[in-house]
Amino acid sequence: QISEKRPIIRQLNDAAINRIAAGEVVERPASAVKELVENALDAGARQVSVDYADGGKTLIRVSDDGCGIAPEDLPLALSRHATSKIDGSDLLNIHTFGFRGEALPSLGAVGRLTMTSRAEGFDAAEIRVSGGQAEPVRPAAHNAGTTVTLRDLFYATPARLKFMRSDRAEAQAITDTIKRLAMAEPFVGFTLRDVSGGGEGRVTFRADPESGDLFDALHGRLARILGQEFAENALRIDATREGLHMTGYAALPTYSRGTSVAQYLFVNGRPVRDKMLYGALRAAYHDFLSRDRHPAAALFIECDPILVDVNVHPAKSEVRFRDPGLARGLIVSGLRHALAEAGHRASSTVAN
């Protein structure tokens, strides 16, 4: 009787594997935008444009002026675990946003994806993939750089489609993703456009003038993204502790918010949402703020990639420090020092 019901072990095909992986990598339109913009940044883009419609559900289009892809490499770019960013020999030393070679095949498995590109010394070409099925590469027209168009995200996975929130909520998440990446790359110009019904709504973060100074560029960008008031109330942060470096801007306690939405943290240039780091930020302001107030800050932690694991989750917004106490200590002491210097002693400050 047992043999009657003996389960059959099968090797899944690539389309099925990609669709399963997509569940991890692409949660919602904003995660598709994140993957595509990170690819543009990894390609050395100076200008990135993002168009979307209906909260990204029907259309996401990301264009860049980066290095482009040669026609013969287009099918490879869309295949699983294929990447130009690492060779697999040193997983502890990663300097790009991407490295898994999972985003494009995943997106091609859950939407209709077209990738058009021109690399220096090559003609422009295009490849299409939908539901995991790729068409042959064909000639196309394109400036130097790459455009990826993703239509009908999750059309192939109705269960996921159901979990999508309202167009407005998804558009909000896309905007938030672009803000974070625009902070991480203040020398790159970004344009974000909602092209649904008439094409209202456009946000532009111009590439800051070529002053070359990162603090100036960042300050200008934060003024644009978080507002002039934040910029005027922001303390410049620059602190080091045993190989860990923290830079950025943190607002005076008097500028605190009633919600924690103005907290932006980056590790080695990568936007992260990490509980431990948020906790450290809160702890740093503990003596300066009443309980219902939240500090506002954009902080960049840099260290040897060997000291931090960004491999924790495919979406890569969590990190694991080799020495979490050290990272926490750097944030808490670095910020407290800056706040104290600014004359905001705990005893004299009751913010509300």
List residues near Mg ion by CB under 5 A.
Answer: 39, 98, 103
In the complex, the smallest distance separating the C-beta of residue 243 from ligand ADP, rounded to whole angstroms, is 27
Nearer to ligand ADP, 101 or 271 (CB): 101
Spatial distance between the Cα atoms of 74 and 52, rounded to a whole number of angstroms: 23
Q: What are the backbone dihedrals phi and psi of residue 275, each rounded to the nearest 5 degrees, phi first?
A: -55, -45
Spatial distance between the Cα atoms of 156 and 235, rounded to a whole number of angstroms: 48
146 interface partner picked from Mg ion, ligand ADP, none, CB below 5 to 8 A per type: ligand ADP
321 binds ligand ADP (CB under 6 A): no
108 binds ligand ADP (CB under 6 A): no
How many C-beta atoms lie closer than 10 Å to residue 263's C-beta?
Answer: 19
Mark residues 252-291: x for contact with ligand ADP by CB under 6 A, - for none: ----------------------------------------
Mark residues 127-166: x for contact with ligand ADP by CB under 6 A, - for none: -------------------x--------------------
98 binds ligand ADP (CB under 6 A): yes
Task: Give the strand pairing for 138-139 and 202-205.
Answer: unpaired
The one-letter amino acid code at 330 reads: L
Nearer to ligand ADP, 68 or 189 (CB): 68
How many C-beta atoms lie closer than 10 Å to residue 328's C-beta?
Answer: 18
In the complex, the smallest distance separating the C-beta of residue 72 from ligand ADP, rounded to whole angstroms, is 12
Place of tokens 């979406």: 315
Residues facing 294 on adjacent strands: 257
Mark residues 25-44: x for contact with ligand ADP by CB under 6 A, - for none: ----------x---xx--x-
Nearer to ligand ADP, 119 or 281 (CB): 119
48 binds ligand ADP (CB under 6 A): no
Pick the closest to residue 204 from 47, 32, 41, 35 (CA basis): 47
Question: Is 198 within 8 Å of 164 (Cβ atoms)?
Answer: no
Instruction: Report residue 269 as tokens.
Output: 């240039």
Strand (E) or helix (H) holding 217: helix 214-226
Q: Which stretch binds ligand ADP (CB under 6 A): 95-103, 220-228, 240-248, 292-300?
A: 95-103
* Strand runs labelled E in 167-312: 189-194, 202-205, 234-241, 244-251, 263-267, 270-272, 297-302, 308-309
Nearer to ligand ADP, 110 or 262 (CB): 110
In the complex, the smallest distance separating the C-beta of residue 154 from ligand ADP, rounded to whole angstroms, is 18
The one-letter amino acid code at 22 reads: A
Which residue number is nearest to ligand ADP in terms of Cβ?
Answer: 98
Spatial distance between the Cα atoms of 43 and 327, rounded to a whole number of angstroms: 30
Question: Is 47 within 8 Å of 65 (Cβ atoms)?
Answer: yes
In the complex, the smallest distance separating the C-beta of residue 146 from ligand ADP, rounded to whole angstroms, is 4
Question: In 3-state terms, what secondary structure has residue 322?
Answer: coil
In the complex, the smallest distance separating the C-beta of residue 266 from ligand ADP, rounded to whole angstroms, is 18
Nearer to Mg ion, 148 or 222 (CB): 148
The one-letter amino acid code at 283 reads: A
In the complex, the smallest distance separating the C-beta of residue 109 from ligand ADP, rounded to whole angstroms, is 11
| Region 64-93 residues binding ligand ADP, contact defined as CB under 6 A | 64, 66-69, 77, 83-85
Spatial distance between the Cα atoms of 343 and 26, rounded to a whole number of angstroms: 45
In the complex, the smallest distance separating the C-beta of residue 34 from Mg ion, rounded to whole angstroms, is 9
Question: Is 22 within 8 Å of 78 (Cβ atoms)?
Answer: no
Q: Which residues bind ligand ADP (CB under 6 A)?
A: 35, 39-40, 43, 64, 66-69, 77, 83-85, 98-104, 146
